[in-house]
Amino acid sequence: MGCSSKGDDSLTRSEAEVLALVDSGMSNREIAERLAISVGTVKCHLHRAYEKLQARNRIEATVKAREDGQLQAFVIAERVQRNVTLDR
């Protein structure tokens, strides 16, 4: 199974989630543990995000995602989801 992107320039939920955790300072291993996925899957999500954002590394990717509003939209959606879950 490869890690190539399918041509859409917007980040998937998983890619945005991983980038948000990178932006918070987490390592690939910490992200994998937090999301209950493998380190390889984290790397795959990052690789696709780099391609979509035309970034060379994790810092450049998070900066571009933030500037494009893609990271902020994910963070806001997660806060809303957490509030809905906590209210139940």
Element (H, E) at 68: helix 58-68
Does residue 59 lie in a domain region? yes
Does residue 1 lie in a domain region? no
Does residue 60 lie in a domain region? yes
Question: With bands split at pLDDT 50, 70 and 90, how would you rate the model's confidence at 4?
Answer: low
Give the C-alpha separation, 55 to 65, whole Å: 10
Using DSSP, how many helices (H) and how many strands (E) does the chain show? 5, 0
Does residue 7 lie in a domain region? no
Neighbours of 27 (CB within 10 A): 13
> Domain limits at 44?
13-87
pTM for the whole thing? 0.78
Does residue 65 lie in a domain region? yes
Q: How many domains does the chain have?
A: 1
pLDDT in tens, 37-88: 999 999 999 999 999 999 999 999 999 998 988 887 666 666 656 665 554 4
